[in-house]
Chains A and B, each alone.
Chain A
Amino acid sequence: MGHAEIDRRRLLVTGAAAALIVAVRPHLVLAQAGAGPFSLPALPYPESALEPHVDAQTMGLHHGRHHKAYVDNVNRLLESHGELQRLSALELLRRLPEVPDAIRTGLRNNLGGHVNHTMFWSIMGPGKGGAPVGETAAAIERDFGGFDAFKQRFNAAGLGQFGSGWAFVTVEPGTGKLAVAAAPNQDTPLMEGRPVLMGNDVWEHAYYLKYQNRRADYLNAWWNVVDWAAVDRRYAAIRRGEAII
């Protein structure tokens, strides 16, 4: 990709898509990023946009404090590892076993946190919800027997994740088959080379101010903010073999 091509693409992309490209190719934006290779992507909608399902205070803290801390920590960890700064987030996650012991766990937790949240913001939006669309709808029908059965499986994964973690939908490379998976803390299936279609954050910080101990209510309400068009664009990109976080 030449510089002209990069510039053209940078002008075309907006919001979450920009965040995605920035996160995948961090060296492209070194000049803006300041202290390190990664930067906090802007929220693609106002903090209050997902009310009443996700409240503005939670969004503000979640994006501006929690996600920012993951980004700052990754940059700090990579400060004295110039050779690793040239790798994309995806490459770093896949090559964690080769990363020096001293920063491996820190990178796993914080870079995991960065990619998970970047994905998370990009698949939600105001006035969304409803039913899956496009190829994603067909795949959900094929692999789960319908949207209701899929939601049940996904919610059960989120509810059953003891402590902090995520519920994910992964895509099997080649076949495009979807599967539900839970992961602790900020682990992601990307660490095992499995593309992530979508995911919901079940750390208590994602829902405690509004739902307190009622994680099941949060999981149910979350479907009202899922941007299925965005999810379907991710599915198409993954099927094309694009490396997305």
Chain B
Amino acid sequence: MAFELPPLPYSHDALEPFMSAQTLNLHHGKHHQAYVTNLNNLVKDTPMASMSLEEVVKASYGDASKQGIFNNAGQHWNHILFWQCMRKNGGGSIPGELERRLKSDFGSVEQFKEAFTQAGVTQFGSGWAWLVEDGGKLKVTKTPNGENPLAHGQKALLGCDVWEHSYYLDYQNRRPDYIKAFLDNLVNWEFVAQRLAA
């Protein structure tokens, strides 16, 4: 079965004014769709066509001959997670157990947010900032292009797309403002907490 673009879990204008309907339309309908289309074309008639997305990401990572497959599979996986990481009226209070873990591993929620923002701002060029669970600890990481925690054997809890297409129409060069809006007004902390508990 071919890979498919999942519908957005909210309407295109649900994240206004922090993420515009135009950005979401393009990001989901064009960029994410293109990754899905490219992935299907690249794995067509190969053993990877019958693998799960997770298996394709892991099997293609680090294989130079499968770089194109990895790029598109990684981005398909990243965006599926990204849409779920946000919601209308997001941000706000963090569920108890997740908050406790953030305080325990970063010192405070504010220090976590600083580390996450720093990761996103310093990811040079296209990429992602992540909150992951790795070896029982919560960590902040960053990855270039389509690379992700799954490829690194980590459990991704929260991902923020810092490719310019994710924020340029709304924030232009001001990536720090976008990441602040993401953390304070867009993150679906219940979803992040569920991933931690799962």
Interface residues of A (CB under 8 A from B): 61, 65-66, 69, 105, 109, 162-165, 184-186, 203-205, 208-209, 212-213
Nearest chain-A residue to B71 (Cβ)?
A162
Choose one: B34, B127, B164; the contact of A204 (CB below 8 Å).
Answer: B164
Q: A66-B173, A185-B125 are known contacts. Are A213 and B71 too (CB-CB below 8 A)?
A: no
Q: Provide 7 A-B residue pairs closer than 8 Å at the C-beta atoms, listed in order of the A residue.
A: A66-B173, A105-B124, A162-B71, A162-B145, A163-B127, A212-B26, A212-B165
Per the bound structure, the CA–CA distance linking A165 and B145 in Å amounts to: 11
B176: shortest Cβ distance to chain A, in Å? 12
Neighbouring B residues of A162 by C-beta, 8 Å: 67-68, 71, 145-146
Do the beta carbons of A163 and B163 come within 8 Å of each other?
A: yes
Size of chain B's interface in residues, with CB distance under 8 A?
21
Neighbouring A residues of B30 by C-beta, 8 Å: 212-213
A107: shortest Cβ distance to chain B, in Å? 12
Neighbouring B residues of A164 by C-beta, 8 Å: 125-126, 164
B34: shortest Cβ distance to chain A, in Å? 7
Q: Does B144 touch A at the CB level, under 8 Å? A: yes
Neighbouring A residues of B165 by C-beta, 8 Å: 204, 208, 212-213
Q: Does B31 touch A at the CB level, under 8 Å? A: yes
Interface residues of B (CB under 8 A from A): 26, 30-31, 34, 67-68, 71, 124-127, 144-146, 163-165, 168-169, 172-173
Do the beta carbons of B168 and A204 come within 8 Å of each other?
A: yes
Do the beta carbons of B26 and A165 come within 8 Å of each other?
A: no
Choose one: B26, B125, B145; the contact of A203 (CB below 8 Å).
Answer: B125
Per the bound structure, the CA–CA distance linking A165 and B126 in Å amounts to: 9
- Most chain B CB within 10 A, of A65, A109, A165, A212, is at A212
Per the bound structure, the CA–CA distance linking A65 and B175 in Å amounts to: 12
Nearest chain-B residue to A184 (Cβ)?
B125
Choose one: A61, A105, A163, A213; the contact of B126 (CB below 8 Å).
Answer: A163
Nearest chain-A residue to B164 (Cβ)?
A204
Q: A184-B125, A213-B34 are known contacts. Are A163 and B169 too (CB-CB below 8 A)?
A: no
Do the beta carbons of A204 and B163 come within 8 Å of each other?
A: yes
Neighbouring B residues of A105 by C-beta, 8 Å: 124
Per the bound structure, the CA–CA distance linking A28 and B168 in Å amounts to: 36
Neighbouring B residues of A165 by C-beta, 8 Å: 125
Do the beta carbons of A61 and B172 come within 8 Å of each other?
A: yes
